[in-house]
Amino acid sequence: MSDVASGVANVPARGVLPQPGAAAVARLIGPWLALAVAFAVLPAIVTSGSALTMLSMMGIMIVFALSYNMLLGETGLLSFGHAVYYGLGGFLAVHAMNTVIHDALPIPLPAVPLVGGFSGLLFGIIFGSVSTRRAGTAFAMISLGLGELVASSSLILRGFFGGEEGVSTNRTKLLHVFGLNFGPQIQVYYLIAGWCLLCMIAMYALTRTPFGRMCNAVRENPERAQFVGYNPQTIRFIAFSLAGLFAGIAGALTAINFELVNSSEVGAAQSGLVLLAAYIGGIGSFMGPVIGAVLVTWLEVMLSDVTDVWQLYFGLLFIGMVMFAPNGIAGLIMIHAPLWQARAYGPMLRLALAYLVALGPALVLLAGLILIIEMTYHLSVKATEGTTISVFHVTVEAMSVIPWVVAVILVAGGFWLFRMTWPVVGAAWHNAFAEARGAGRAK
Amino acid sequence: MLELVTISTLNGVLYGMLLFLMASGLTLIFSMMGVLNFAHASFYMLGAFFGYQISQIVGFWPAFIVAPVLVGGIGALVERYGLRHVHQHGPVAELLFTFGLAFVIEEVVQMIWGKGPADYRVPPSLDFSAFTAFSTNYPAYKMFELLTAIAIFAVLLAVLTRTRVGLIIQASLTHSHMVAMLGHNVPRVFMLVFGVGTGLAAVAGVIAGPALVTQSNMAGLLGPILFVIVVVGGLGSLAGAFLASLLIGLVQTFAVSVNLSVADVLGGLGIAPPAGGPLFDLWNVTVAQIAPIIPYLLLVLILIFRPTGLMGTREH
Amino acid sequence: MISRFSTMLCAVAATVVAALPAAAQDTVRIAYVDPLSGGGASIGEVGLKTFQYLADVTNAHGGIAGHKLEIAAYDNKMSAQETLVQVQKAIDSGIRYVTQGNGSSNAAAIEDFVAKYNDRNPGKEVLFFNYAAVDPILTNEKCSYWHFRWDANSDIKMTALTNYIKTRPNIKKVYLINQDYSFGQSVRKEARAMLNAKRPDIEIVGDEVHPLLKVTDFSPYIAKIKASGADSVITGNWGQDIALLIKAAADAGLQVDWYTYYAGGAGGPTAIKQANLPDRVFEIVEGLSNEPYAPAQEFEKAFRAKVGVTFSPPVSVFYPRAVNEVRMFVKAAEEAKSVEPTKVAAKLDGMKFTVYDGGEGFMRSDDHQFFQPMYIANLGPLGKNQPFDEENTGWGWKMTGKIDTQDTIVPTSCKMNRPS
């Protein structure tokens, strides 16, 4: 009530728009500045070559996952063939780079992602004009079919796709600007980080425009969007093309990073990966796919070193997310948003403590499950290699009874203890929200 | 010429029937429950491996009965404890659940049976040549595949349209609340349908295992074609799936025998091919080379021009 | 905001995990980069165990120039980009030798990467030992000083095969069927060219390509082969493409001779025995143990006892070329008295060597392609003094033809940049 009153009192003179206060501006660009600083500072913490490569891959995946979320999260279009635009962006970028090198054109490397974006936009328009006529399951199936078509034709159109070896290039042979030849990985990292930030800002800005809102409207209720005067098909088409544009940029960045693009970039596996990343991160919020991209890239690179059955853990993680946290990691975080907004720090801390209490048994349960999976794997497939395995740096003899007993105890005990902590967490949750609501009313 | 047509027709029909065996379960699940089961090919693979393992112990014919029942049971459990829980989160979540399930099943199969091919063989009772056409032998086992596929089609159609259970299932599809109010246990109906659907996939696996290679990657190799069949046939139509399987089987088989390329056709019209560049490959590609890709072309065309499929009843 | 904080948390966690301990100074490690999960894993595992066995044998005989030899496994999941990530990880942990073989696309990626890496990081050079990627391009257009190939590339194999066919007058009508990608295309191209040059009287009655690993029903192709009246088929098919092809041939009762590159792969002999095609399936190989050369036979026996039985069906020495690779590596290090890559490379360049099955081979300087005697083997019931069967089928590989090293040589278009 008092807000409205003060607002009325502060109405400025006619013809002059109210200027946003300094606080509002800070809130708007603050996070982006912080992100830029974080991107800039990260390589100082991380110095090994492969970690830098992984960071670069994360940057690329962030752009790719965000572009995918423009379709899934914003407009409600589930696509199984988004990698087509990513891969084609990459291919066009490599061919462009090779042409630039061959003809010694004065185009520096940082401009190459524009080619990828253009290619993504072009193919997004071409394929989008037929795909977006339908929505829902039909759209998903068309995207799958198109994806398979492009992936299969990649082995036939050898000239463009480079056959099995793909097309390779050399990023140091383009025009050097500011003395940078982009040979060392750190320079490539900064290039990718810069483009990533740019794309993130652009895509975020898009969600704030009326067009972005209409996408959400089409996702929720296409018929009602029609009543308001917008053609859902046109909205979907534009969203699709723009998503293709950003996917193409991601593809070009990957071409620069690896100096190699081959037909697997347009394949179903790549499409599945970005779907996984966006979904695990959370399709309901803008930052969700970012989290998912980082997590999935990290898992992809690191998990296979730790265990041979990484695909199983991946699948189980995915199923677990779908069943228990369908809004992804971002969704899990966002549930706590009211607490944060009410600035109920005390209750939040107590809630965090309750979570910690529940975490212990959960970890025990997890350890038991991992032990069982690893032992089963070694007993069945690698039996003849000897059944001694190393789990969490503890040597375990998979054939003997003791580890199995331990594992069963861990699982059963962990689950039981975990269940016991649920009331604690429930109570803390209840209290936290009650306090937050109380604080809100008092304000 | 006659020889080519006869042989291609025979081969096409046999291949198409194998595809139908696999796709029948998927159509059932989709038309009854609206769930596009990404893990369907994985249940097919489970059927093949279970069939292999059981046939090692007791022989092929017991495996033929037991394996599908086991896999159907697993399918029912998956529906009861997994899919039902996810159903409330929407169709995307359901799709993604089955997606993750496909991952997990493939990995579990690898864990248990390893990554190499399993030595799953045609049973001796069927290991002879049924007849010879134009000096090409047709093994009896393929005839068995054909007969099984037709039998399944006939039985399914009969059950769905003429029995009480079938009518309840069809009604639950469109008016689940009404059916529930009439006193039928709709969730149990869905569980039954899912179980039967996956059981059918397992039957296909038990039969196709000896004919194709039984390996942990067999799901990924056949998965996409299944979707093409279901979509082309019509989302919701069993007869459509039958037709689509036949169509795709015949088209692919005939396409292999055709060595025409764009160059031949246009060359005949007097148009010269481009010297190089990306179009050069396209110009010289023959129909035979792209034969396995034709189903996907068909899929995209159908979805653009006739989204309900050839005989579909469900509009999405 | 909370979510951005968690993003950074993830990144920091990643860096902690990424800090790997450096290797002990007295161990020489070879990074084995091949698929160890997913579809290609069954083949990747065999290669890994082979190399690990070779490392054990080497260490039992004193190691490599006084150092211990170790194999570090990296799973590339059969993806070229993942391959590059894994190679980068290997280099980060101090490894200077990379070996790989499954998939020429992955090999091309490694070769490119290693060439660029060595160029941009003088003093930290890395060598790439290729044991199975046979695309000729790797020692022609894309050749590199830092890449050494121990497997006869597909052109060499075709040269050897066609030289063998030259001596067989009963082959009159040949049908070509291959997978439609770079390897399959090079097989059919070279087959046509070489047959035309060496046996112009042979009629090529069919030249078929099919999409890679997508065909489940080969009966239409078998029908075409039958209709053409061919007596022999030349095919580079591998994996399920050769297994299904042979199965379909058996189903249809097709009686032809099969000249293959990879019929001996895992599952191949079982499929051939099931198809009941004795002495009809030929393979071109660089070594076979049923030849009476004692050292090879001893090696085969020991290998099968220790490694072969850990697989089901049991495997044999699939990779005599891996044996050559490790032995030549040891010899080069000993001659150079160092395990420094540049010195080892200099010794490997042009090295002559007695190969696994007796016989002389050499690593050609111009393109770092190894040339060795090749054998045409066929699978069938064994005679006496042929103790080794495959996959417990009772059938084994027997030699039907030998092609001397000199008769396997092919020209190269490589313009190698040698370090000064």
Range of weakest confidence among A24-38, A411-425, B262-276, C92-106: B262-276
3-state secondary structure of B270: coil
Q: In whole angstroms, what is the distance from residue A320 CA to residue B82 CA?
A: 10
Strands (E), C227-308: 232-235, 257-260, 281-285
Average pLDDT of C107-132?
92
* Identical fold between C25-152+293-372 and C155-285: yes
Token pair, residue A170, equals: 């050399």
Please report the pLDDT score of residue B35 as a whole number.
75
Given a contact cutoff of 8 angstroms between Cβ atoms, the answer to whether B168 and B257 are in contact is: no
Domain parsing of chain B, residue ranges: 2-220+252-258
Question: Does the distance separating the beta carbons of C4 and A262 come in below 8 Å?
Answer: no
Neighboring chain B residues of C42 at a CB cutoff of 8 Å: 114-117
Please tell me which residue of chain B has the smallest CA distance to A378.
B111
Instruction: Supply angle C-alpha C294, C300, C301, rounded to 5.
Output: 90
Cis peptide before C313 (omega within 30 of 0): yes
Nearest to C126 by CA among C75, C86, C154: C86
Please tell me which chains touch A, using 3 or more CB pairs under 8 Å as the contact test. B, C
Provide the chain C residues 184-213 that lie in CB contact (below 8 A) with chain A. Answer: 185, 211-212
Place of tokens 């990626």: C109
Angstrom CA distances, A128 to A184, A248, A270, stand at 38, 14, 19
**Residue A175 DSSP label:** B
Interface of A with C in 184-213 (CB under 8 A): 184
- Measure the CA–CA gap between A247 and A245, rounded to whole angstroms: 5
Residue B139 to chain C, least CA–CA distance (Å): 6
pLDDT of residue A47: 72
Q: Which amino acid is at B246?
A: L
Residue A380's CB is within 10 A of a number of other CB atoms, namely 14
The structure tokens listed for C79 are 């993806």
Sign for the CA dihedral angle at B124, B126, B131, B136 comes to negative
Average pLDDT along chain B: 81
Residue type, C43: I
Q: Name the CATH superfamily, with its identifier, for domain C155-285.
A: Response regulator (3.40.50.2300)
Residues A170, C109: C-beta atoms closer than 8 Å: no
DSSP, collapsed to helix, strand or coil, labels residue C236 as coil
CB contact (8 A) between residue B89 and residue A275? no
Confidence of residue C151 (pLDDT cuts 50, 70, 90): very high
Angle (CA) B22 B26 B27, round 5° = 110
* Chain A residues in contact with C14 (beta carbon < 8 A): 46, 51, 54-55, 294, 298, 302
Q: What is the DSSP string of B178-213?
A: HHHHTT--HHHHHHHHHHHHHHHHHHHHHHHHHHS-
Radius of gyration of chain A, Cα coordinates, nearest whole angstrom? 25
A50–C18: do the CB atoms touch at under 8 Å?
A: yes
- Complex-level ipTM: 0.81
Q: Return the closest-CA partner of residue C350 out of C368, C333, C376, C338.
A: C368
Distance CA B169, CA B181 (A): 14
CA torsion through residues B201, B204, B209, B212, sign: negative
Beta bridge partners of residue A397, listed in sequence order = A388
Residue with tokens 């000897």: A386
Q: Tell me: pLDDT of B138 over 80.
A: no
Q: Residue C111 is encoded by which pair of tokens?
A: 């070769």
Question: Within 10 Å of residue A172's Cβ, how many Cβ atoms?
Answer: 18
How confident is the model at residue C349, as a pLDDT?
Answer: 93
Residue C15's pLDDT is: 40
Provide the pLDDT for residue C8.
42
Determine the average pLDDT of the residues in A299-316.
Answer: 81
B77 to chain A, any CB pair closer than 8 A? The answer is no
- Residue C235's DSSP bridge partners are C260
Per-residue CA distances from B100 to A316, B78, B95, B96, B107 (Å) = 7, 12, 9, 6, 11
Residue C237: list chain B partners with CB under 8 A: none
Mean pLDDT for C389-399 is 89
Q: Which CATH architecture has domain A28-333?
A: Orthogonal Bundle (1.10)
Per domain, the residue ranges of chain C are 25-152+293-372, 155-285
pTM: 0.85
Residues of chain B neighbouring A148 (CB-CB closer than 8 A): 224, 293, 296
C96 chain-A contacts, CB cut-off 8 A: none
Distance between CA atoms of residues C263 and A397, nearest Å: 38
Average pLDDT for A114-138: 90
The residue extents of the domains of chain A are 28-333, 337-442
Q: Is A390 helix (H, G, I), strand (E, B) or coil?
A: strand
φ, ψ (nearest 5 deg) of residue C67: -105, 160
- Per-residue confidence (pLDDT) for residue B271, from 0 to 100: 67
SS3 B257: helix
Which chain C residue lies closest to A385 (C-alpha atoms)?
A: C310
pLDDT tens digits, C163-217:
999 999 999 999 999 988 778 888 999 999 999 999 999 999 999 888 777 777 7
Contacts of C45 in chain B (CB under 8 A): 115
What CATH number does the domain located at C25-152+293-372 have? 3.40.50.2300
Instruction: Classify residue B183 by burial, with Cβ atoms within 10 Å: 0-12, 13-18, 19+.
Output: exposed
A343, A349, A354, A357, C31 from A428: Cα distances, Å: 16, 10, 7, 11, 51
- Contacting residues for C36 by C-beta, under 8 A, at least 6 apart: A304, A308, C44, C45, C48, C73, C74, C75
* Structure confidence at residue C6 as a pLDDT band (50, 70, 90): very low
The token pair that represents A201 in the structure block: 């800002």
Residue A214 one-letter amino acid: M
Q: How many whole angstroms separate alpha carbon C134 and alpha carbon B306? A: 46
User: B288 or B76: which carries more pLDDT confidence?
Assistant: B76
